[in-house]
Homo-oligomer: A and B are copies of this chain.
Amino acid sequence: MSERSRPRREEDLTARARIRHAALELFAERGVAGTPMRAVAARVGVTVGLIVHHFGTKEALREAVEVDIVDRFADAILTAPADGSGAEVAAARDRAVAAMLAQSPAVVDYLRRAVLDPHGERGDLVSKLSALTADQVGDLRRRGLASARSTIGEQVLTIMIRQLGQVFLQPLADRIVDEFGAGPDATSPRIVVRLEGRREVSSADD
């Protein structure tokens, strides 16, 4: 995936790529339903017709945006050094993904929306990212770098919840901190998400 190199300057990109980028930003900001194709076109400085020409439908544009996001995850993982112990490799990948997310807030914002919008059955973003993460875990296992004590599903769950959980909740924390007259010393604390009590049969409540 992602055979093309990523040009640094937005103006150097093809119109197709610029449209996809603008769509990602606007979808992240206002949601897919809340973003008219005309808004995307205006942002890029092209006509709606061109978007249709390149992507066909709005749904296809959304799909392209999601594929692009998965590519960014895959790219980030590729940049991380793949040598050392299992823990080292995993940590390096963790850091690479975190850096990518920190650098492109639009991805985080889009993800947050996509996660809670069930939308389509299969083939949506959560499925794609789960598959990508499962590939990573499988890779580490094959090289004897990841324990096989728990199932792949459990490991994928742990990785994704830890990484995405923090990123999803941070804006809520920032909002609340902001709510109480954010002085110069008011910095949001770091949010830590943990999984516990695995395989507990959690009845209604306890």
Contact = CB atoms under 8 A, between A and B. Distances in A.
A126 B197 CA distance: 30
A116 B112 contact: yes
Contacts of A102: 204-205
A4 to B, nearest CB: 27
Contact of A33 (B34, B115, B197, B205): B34
B191 A161 contact: yes
A189 B180 contact: no
A5 interface: no
A180 B193 contact: no
A164 interface: yes
Contacts of A168: 116, 168-169, 172
Task: Determine how many copies of this chain the complex contains.
Answer: 2
Interface string A176-206: 1101110001111111111111111110110
Interface residues of A, number: 56
B127 A179 contact: yes
Nearest to A131: B179
16 contacts: A31-B117, A102-B204, A109-B116, A116-B172, A126-B179, A153-B179, A156-B179, A157-B173, A157-B177, A161-B173, A189-B198, A190-B202, A191-B195, A192-B193, A192-B195, A192-B196
- What are the 8 closest A-B residue pairs judged by CB atoms, nearest first? A153-B180, A189-B198, A33-B34, A33-B33, A130-B179, A192-B194, A189-B195, A190-B197
